[in-house]
Amino acid sequence: MGNIKYFFWNFHCERIKYLRNRLMNGLQEIQKEYPDKKVILVAHGAVIHFILRLMSNESIVSKEMRLFNACLSTIRFDVDSWIIDDFNQVNHLS
């Protein structure tokens, strides 16, 4: 994730490697608990943005990209990796 070493949460600082591990472990738990199910995950935009950056290795979602408020992103687990099907969708808002 480039030169970023810390992620700030309302004046609380968390090392990027710990945040990455915590989020990816959480996604793995969800995938194991509901392997053939569709799951809705609701999170703060900064968390969603960080997850998408991790999954795309910043090739699709970069740190400069802004996600729209209330946007939808669709990810799926396939064999041994996460795939971003779409992201930053706002069609449901109109």
pLDDT, tens only, 7-42: 555 445 677 888 889 999 999 999 999 998 999 999
User: pLDDT tens digit string along 35-66?
Assistant: 989 999 999 998 999 999 999 988 898 888 99
Q: Which residues contact 51 (CB under 8 A, 6 or more apart)?
A: 23, 27, 43, 75
pTM for the model stands at 0.79
